[in-house]
């Protein structure tokens, strides 16, 4: 219910911003003609916002913990809403002479209302709170589950964001009540409550996220008796450390200094890379990779706008097939091993039924799910990964951490791709070793013409299915021997 109320509040604020924008454009004069002009545009704006806001999940943040990431997400949503609404208005009314004044003013007003409302809530909630300053430490490479939702949680997350944005990763948060599930704090999702910790750990493992440590920001005496027993059992039965931040005030394992990767002179930060990857590392410094990194997010943003109707259709099919949530994510290693969340439309039913029993995989996929996977339409949300600079259109497909052994780390020298040479030369029908050989061959030979060739072959693959190219695999193995 919290998420629905947040979304409704955002739509109301957008409606107010749109009305005020038109009033200002008309020199504060209200007339029947101005109202008639506003009404269709207001409905278009709210219709677009009803799609854009859930897609970017702006409504899922807890307002009193608004951070820079939330403001950036709101900015992106505002741009998408205004541009899409204006484009639809021109489409429906070809004779309408569109000016820049209204959409620009509308965008500024929407930003002012959405960001300003969050700032006011944050200031009000922190009016009597003292400002603290974190002391820089050198944390290790860990994934942490944070338990509790309060001022200490906010301080801890801001400390990590400011001082150690990459070395300690937040796997998720456990809030105080069921009503908070689905919201987020500083961009980190609230996955459950302390009493649901065992199930949350299993769910994260299904997404490829292994929790190394649980940080409890709520004092031990503030937990329910059941939660206390659960944490005691976890500490005894699992190799997961549990720390009560309220008692330790950040002292303990937070000061343990280890590097993100165990590097040597030949690895360039990639675990398990051999000295044979030195020439590959030099190839990744070519200007072509920099050009791709700049142009591809822009192209992906354009495709998001162009394919908006297709997104809506696939989202509707997913909702009919498996329901809410519409998307599924998994944590994958990306460029230089940095982990990111890869998104897909859900094409399978939940792994467990209402009784907690595991459902066989063949029973989880329907005809709709098979169609989405066969046509790769379930991969559409990864355009957002490209916009955020986490992925590329063409490159090695990102693997689950368990499928990314150290010996194959050379494929992490470039950004992972939506499609790649290995996908069009065998796809799901070839071995991991063959995929790695093809990926490394691509790193060596990447060019604009090769990327366009892969795009064309991807279209053929989607239409006719996977086909193994033994000659390409043999060539990749020959050229890449000793450089995996």
Identify the burial level of 455 via C-beta atoms within 10 angstroms of its C-beta, where 0-12 means exposed, 13-18 middle and 19 or more buried. Answer: middle
Task: Return the domain boundaries, the chain.
Answer: 2-125, 142-255, 275-479
Structural contact between residues 326 and 319, judged by C-beta atoms closer than 8 angstroms: yes
**Rounded alpha-carbon distances, angstroms, from residue 420 to 208, 315, 426:** 22, 25, 10
Nearest C-alpha neighbor of 381 from the set 426, 322, 318? 318
Longest CA–CA span in the chain (Å) reads: 76
The fold of 142-255 is Rossmann fold (3.40.50)
Nearest C-alpha neighbor of 254 from the set 405, 144, 174, 394? 144
The torsion defined by the Cα of 400, 403, 404 and 406, in degrees rounded to 10, comes to 150
**Rounded alpha-carbon distances, angstroms, from residue 446 to 39, 90, 290, 462:** 51, 40, 12, 22
**Rounded alpha-carbon distances, angstroms, from residue 198 to 172, 204, 239, 349:** 13, 10, 13, 21
Q: Would you give the DSSP letter of residue 358?
A: B
Tens digit of each residue's pLDDT, the chain (484 residues): 567 778 888 888 988 888 888 778 777 666 776 677 677 878 888 888 888 888 777 777 777 666 666 777 788 888 888 888 877 777 776 555 556 777 888 888 888 888 888 878 776 765 544 344 433 334 447 889 999 887 788 888 888 777 766 678 888 999 888 888 888 888 788 999 999 999 999 888 888 888 988 999 888 778 888 998 898 888 878 878 888 887 666 443 433 333 333 333 333 444 344 434 566 677 777 888 888 888 998 888 888 878 888 888 888 888 888 887 788 888 888 888 888 888 888 888 777 766 667 777 777 778 888 888 888 888 888 988 898 888 999 999 888 777 766 666 778 888 999 999 988 998 777 887 788 888 888 988 889 999 999 999 999 888 888 888 888 888 888 876 544 4
The predicted structure's pLDDT at residue 468 = 87
Q: Taking the CA atoms of 361, 364, 366 and 372 in sequence, report the sign of the dihedral they define.
A: negative
Nearest C-alpha neighbor of 150 from the set 115, 194, 119? 194
Interatomic CA distance for residues 318 and 334, integer angstroms: 27
Nearest C-alpha neighbor of 333 from the set 285, 396, 262, 284? 396
Name the residue with tokens 């996929």: 365
- The whole-angstrom distance between residue 9's C-alpha and the CA centroid of its chain comes to 24
Nearest C-alpha neighbor of 170 from the set 85, 67, 47, 93? 67
Listed in sequence order, the residues at least 6 apart from 62 whose beta carbon sits closer than 8 Å to its beta carbon are 149, 180, 183, 184, 185
Taking the CB of residue 358, how many other CB atoms lie within 10 A of it?
10
> Residue 436: which region, alpha, beta or left (left: phi > 0; alpha: psi -120 to 50)?
alpha
HSE, side-chain direction, 13 A CA sphere, residue 302: 5
**Rounded alpha-carbon distances, angstroms, from residue 140 to 165, 261, 414:** 12, 10, 24
Interatomic CA distance for residues 149 and 147, integer angstroms: 7
Interatomic CA distance for residues 61 and 184, integer angstroms: 4
Interatomic CA distance for residues 298 and 291, integer angstroms: 11
Buried b vs exposed e over 424-440: b needs ≥16 C-beta within 10 Å?
A: bbbbeebeeebbbbbbb
Structural contact between residues 391 and 382, judged by C-beta atoms closer than 8 angstroms: yes
């Amino acid at each position: 219910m919290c998420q629905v109320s947040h979304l409704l509040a955002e739509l109301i604020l957008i409606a107010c911003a749109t009305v005020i924008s038109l009033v200002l454009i008309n020199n504060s004069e209200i007339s029947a003609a101005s109202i008639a002009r506003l009404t269709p545009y207001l409905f278009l704006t709210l219709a677009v916002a009803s799609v854009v806001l859930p897609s970017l999940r702006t409504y899922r943040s807890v307002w009193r913990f608004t951070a820079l990431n939330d403001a950036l997400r709101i900015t992106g949503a505002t741009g998408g809403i205004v541009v899409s609404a204006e484009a639809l208005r021109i489409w429906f009314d070809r004779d309408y002479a569109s000016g820049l004044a209204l959409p620009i003013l509308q965008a500024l007003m929407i930003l002012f209302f959405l960001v300003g409302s969050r700032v006011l809530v944050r200031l009000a909630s922190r009016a009597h709170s003292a400002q603290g300053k974190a002391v820089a430490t050198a944390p290790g490479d860990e994934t942490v589950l944070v338990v509790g939702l309060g001022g200490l949680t906010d301080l801890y997350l801001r400390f990590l964001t400011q001082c150690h944005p990459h070395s300690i990763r937040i796997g998720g948060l456990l809030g105080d009540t069921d009503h908070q599930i689905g919201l987020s704090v500083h961009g980190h999702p609230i996955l459950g409550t302390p009493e649901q910790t065992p199930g949350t750990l299993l769910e994260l493992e299904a997404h490829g996220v292994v929790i190394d440590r649980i940080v409890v920001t709520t004092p031990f005496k503030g937990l329910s008796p059941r939660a206390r027993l659960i944490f005691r059992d976890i500490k005894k039965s699992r190799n997961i450390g549990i720390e009560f931040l309220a008692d330790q005030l950040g002292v303990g394992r937070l000061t343990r200094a280890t590097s993100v990767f165990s590097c040597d002179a030949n690895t360039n930060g990639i675990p398990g890379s051999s000295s044979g990857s030195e020439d590959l590392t030099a190839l990744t410094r070519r200007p072509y990779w920099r050009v791709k990194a700049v142009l591809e997010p822009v192209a992906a943003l354009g495709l998001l706008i162009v394919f908006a109707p297709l997104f809506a259709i696939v989202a509707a099919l997913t909702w009919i097939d498996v329901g809410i949530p519409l998307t599924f994510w998994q944590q994958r290693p990306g460029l230089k091993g940095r982990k990111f969340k890869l998104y897909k439309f859900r094409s399978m039913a939940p792994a467990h039924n209402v009784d907690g029993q595991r459902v066989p995989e063949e029973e989880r996929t329907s005809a709709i799910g098979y169609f989405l996977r066969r046509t790769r339409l379930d991969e559409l949300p990864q355009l957002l990964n490209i916009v955020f600079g986490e992925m590329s259109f063409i490159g090695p497909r990102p693997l689950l951490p368990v499928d990314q052994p150290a010996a194959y780390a050379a494929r992490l020298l470039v950004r992972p791709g939506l499609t790649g040479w290995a996908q069009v030369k065998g796809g799901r029908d070839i071995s991991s070793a063959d995929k790695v050989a093809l990926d490394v061959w691509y790193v060596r030979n990447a060019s604009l013409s090769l990327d366009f060739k892969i795009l064309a072959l991807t279209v053929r693959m989607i239409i006719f299915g996977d086909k193994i190219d033994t000659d390409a695999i043999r060539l990749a193995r020959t050229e890449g021997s000793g450089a995996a």
